[in-house]
Structure 1
């Protein structure tokens, strides 16, 4: 007689078991799981997630009853559950409400960035600015974002993450309004420096560092890579829709309503400002859980300190009042002196001064060592990306092959869809081969395809190379962010992410000026080849510092 197995509630089941139990209940079967993966079905009708378990001879299920076998629908439902688990969809759905709000915010932001990325270089060219001036304006936008991102991100955990997000949304909204109303080069330069606008298709502003750090402390380690993958996936989908929407809108305004290029571009920037304002409204849905625990603890300590100060002040006043009454009875002091002492006591207030050092981050020695390795590598990768940003890629195809904005928008849309698919499977690949290996496998072919785009003799061949680049470009994003978040502590995560973001923007900002100079000389192909070379150096650095030093199976 076999012992009865212990009862397990659904809340105690792992993700695979919980999902399979739900579907098994619907199909009239019971769950059987073990540590190995792969769906199978026992003769007794049990659904198992194991592919290679053998039947238990002692279980009494040696004979197979055909009536008890699971139906095709049950098998299909189990396969669907397995698929959604592999792509991380179940972990994303089970994420906290704040994480889902951040994903919606991320989608809205990159949708707006997609509109500015497609037309910003074309807008400056339509205004008659020299290509070198266009490069300087885009460099100014990235350099201004460097300062703004650094300052706002470093103070986010102490001032409040939600406050920084709202302020950044307002800066983004103001940038779109100025771009829509002015075509003066100096006004646009100031707006590029002080505002938030993306000229290259990359993330700008403090949003990404704050969101990634918040997601990291709201999600468990076991599901963090999956959430990051969907974060990147949703971002690419928003970028895809933004570029296609902008290209279609601009071409329709030009062809159907006979608007000029400049007028159509300005209308797109109005939409950019509108999306930023919608993000500002949506940020009020975030709860206190988004704030770092240190912020909540500091708020509690401040409230306790203020209550204690008030209580001490009341006690001191009562004691002084009792002393004054005794002095009046003894008639040892004059009334004028007693009045002066009472006024001094009333005007005396507890002094509380908070220096700026309390808001500054404190990094440990281990965090500084991690930065010493990450900063040079991120610098190389982002510098290569700045040399061949999406804005200059769109300019290259339009300048060489005469491609219209609508075609460019659709091309970027499908490229981002391909990037979405690659980002979707990146977490599953990382679970099987490791985070660092996934970064290398994806990044090397992406760099090579980018460098070969100028060698294409036709627009069709160039578009194929661009799609190959898009298909592998995003596969290393989620594993890289999960890897970085896994090697730093929770209290330092936002600061590390902010520094990495600043380094990324700093190195990326030098690219447009160099590319603009080469484009003005008719040799823009040099920028693409240089971008490929620098990115391959990044791959060699990752392999040397992380892969060969034993950080092989690091998982988030």
Structure 2
């Protein structure tokens, strides 16, 4: 019987975490309102949570260069357990604000997390260069599927009403489940092999010879994220409702298929990257998706708009596993955790700015402009990536 590979434990741990993050992202504002807090307090707590996640992720990037990744992942899983337990037991706003800032709860269900840079570093060391992108494609696919089911699980508190439990009690049950998912994740992390630490490793800087490459990638990835913030899912739904009077059931069907196409594109991206390279896959799938988005903004009918948006969905996420694989490939082994951290955090911070600008354009009845700006900025990003990094090839693409 073949032993279970460390990557399998990481896949399972990510599935548990993304499942929990997805239902917490939906239930967190409902829970806070049920506790009697005002919408402004909910917004402040969400902002504190995002800021705390970003700072923790940066910190883990520094620690990852000098410490065993397994121990850090176990500590992160413990923090997830403590976060869920604290949200169940605490009702004071100041304490909840502190837990949101210092804990693992993520109101966006996004990829900024203290787990991500550590998991990226462990995954990259477990496979050969030729298999690395396929590994990250599977990793992304597992997370996407788990998050989809996590979103569905957000309805569980309403179903618990048949057992006599009110909504507030039902949501508390979900936070207990969130804590248990953290504990289960810890048991999985405990099964991955420890990283061999030497005196030289313990003295290694978080970023060394690859610092310039990492900072340049972080800046370009931030431009991409800033562009994407103009067309976040809620704004896309708003545009479809206002322009075409799309019904809720139609919207649900569209976003289901859109998410399914995005998830299915991950293994396709791995296959394509082996034939044309990581950078080419990132760029030459992204540009058509941006063009499809811009054309959708100008589409005369609902059917044409939805068809173009589904084309975009099938292409726009193919850079996710290829981007992660490329970052791991072009830095040294000891820099991987820091590189994953420093290229993901600025993305999320940049993405938080543009939805407000898009909202202003919507308010001014310039509803097509967020889509056009997003597409133009993303194409600019793709061309900059091609120019700056086409000559920096990962090991498996070296002649």
Give the TM-score range, shorter chain: 0.7 to 0.9
Q: Quick one: distance in 2 between partners of 1:418 and 1:190?
A: 38
Q: Which residue of 1 aligns with 2:113?
A: 205
Q: Which residue of 2 aligns with 1:437?
A: 280
**Rg larger in structure:** 1
Please give the residue correspondences for 1:263-282 in structure 2 after superposition, counting only pairs within 5 Å.
Answer: 265-282=171-188
Q: Taking structure 2 as the reference length, what is the TM-score of the superposition?
A: 0.80
* 1:141 and 2:141 correspond: no
Partner of 1:488, secondary structure, is coil
Q: Which residue of 1 aligns with 2:205?
A: 361
Query: Deviation of residue 444 (structure 1)?
Result: 2.8
Q: Which residue of 1 aligns with 2:63?
A: 155
Q: Quick one: distance in 2 between partners of 1:516 and 1:190?
A: 30
Query: Deviation of residue 267 (structure 1)?
Result: 4.4
* 1:111 and 2:25 correspond: no
Q: Which residue of 2 aligns with 1:9?
A: none
Q: Quick one: distance in 1 between partners of 2:329 and 2:168?
A: 46
Number of residues paired by the alignment? 393
Query: Deviation of residue 246 (structure 1)?
Result: 2.6
Partner of 2:223, secondary structure, is helix
Partner of 1:155, secondary structure, is helix
Query: Deviation of residue 378 (structure 1)?
Result: 1.3
Partner of 2:104, secondary structure, is coil
Please give the residue correspondences for 1:460-479 in structure 2 after superposition, counting only pairs within 5 Å.
Answer: 467-479=310-322
> What RMSD over aligned residues (CA atoms) do the two structures have, in Å?
4.2
Cα shift readout 1:211-249 (whole Å, capped 9, x = no counterpart): 1111111211121121111111111121222223334x3
Query: Deviation of residue 508 (structure 1)?
Result: 3.4
Structure 1 residues 172 and 414, CA, compared in 2 at 3 Å: closer, same or farther?
A: farther
Query: Deviation of residue 443 (structure 1)?
Result: 2.1
Q: Which residue of 2 aligns with 1:482?
A: 325
Cα shift readout 1:340-395 (whole Å, capped 9, x = no counterpart): xxxxxxxxxxxxxxxxx966625334x12212421210111223344544566678
* 1:284 and 2:128 correspond: no
Q: Quick one: distance in 2 between partners of 1:407 and 1:112?
A: 24
Query: Deviation of residue 453 (structure 1)?
Result: 7.5
Structure 1 residues 358 and 283, CA, compared in 2 at 3 Å: closer, same or farther?
A: closer
Q: Quick one: distance in 2 between partners of 1:508 and 1:388?
A: 10
- Which of 211, 214, 219 matches 1:371? 214
Q: Which residue of 2 aligns with 1:215?
A: 123
Q: Quick one: distance in 2 between partners of 1:495 and 1:470?
A: 30
Please, which moves more after superposition, 435-444 or 448-457? Answer: 448-457
Q: Quick one: distance in 2 between partners of 1:494 and 1:206?
A: 10
Partner of 2:248, secondary structure, is coil
Q: Quick one: distance in 2 between partners of 1:386 and 1:139?
A: 16
CA contact (8 A) 1:154 1:495 kept: yes
* 1:555 and 2:397 correspond: yes
CA contact (8 A) 2:129 2:396 kept: no
Structure 1 residues 507 and 229, CA, compared in 2 at 3 Å: closer, same or farther?
A: same
Please, which moves more after superposition, 94-103 or 389-398? Answer: 389-398
Q: Quick one: distance in 2 between partners of 1:536 and 1:192?
A: 36
Cα shift readout 1:453-509 (whole Å, capped 9, x = no counterpart): 788899988766654443223211111122222222222222222221232333234
Q: Quick one: distance in 2 between partners of 1:552 and 1:157?
A: 21
CA contact (8 A) 2:293 2:312 kept: yes
Q: Quick one: distance in 2 between partners of 1:493 and 1:149?
A: 13
Structure 1 residues 180 and 136, CA, compared in 2 at 3 Å: closer, same or farther?
A: same
CA contact (8 A) 1:209 1:494 kept: yes
Q: Which residue of 2 aligns with 1:97?
A: 5
Q: Taking structure 1 as the reference length, what is the TM-score of the superposition?
A: 0.59
Query: Deviation of residue 515 (structure 1)?
Result: 6.5
- Which of 428, 448, 457 matches 2:271? 428
Q: Which residue of 1 aligns with 2:349?
A: 506
CA contact (8 A) 2:112 2:345 kept: no
Q: Quick one: distance in 1 between partners of 2:157 and 2:291?
A: 32
Partner of 1:286, secondary structure, is coil
Q: Is there any run of 5+ residues in structure 1 with no aligned partner, and where?
A: 1-93, 302-356
Please, which moves more after superposition, 98-107 or 121-130? Answer: 121-130
Q: Quick one: distance in 2 between partners of 1:190 and 1:455?
A: 45
Query: Deviation of residue 168 (structure 1)?
Result: 1.6
Q: Which residue of 1 aligns with 2:338?
A: 495
Structure 1 residues 262 and 464, CA, compared in 2 at 3 Å: closer, same or farther?
A: farther
Q: Which residue of 2 aligns with 1:243?
A: 151
Q: Quick one: distance in 2 between partners of 1:462 and 1:532?
A: 15
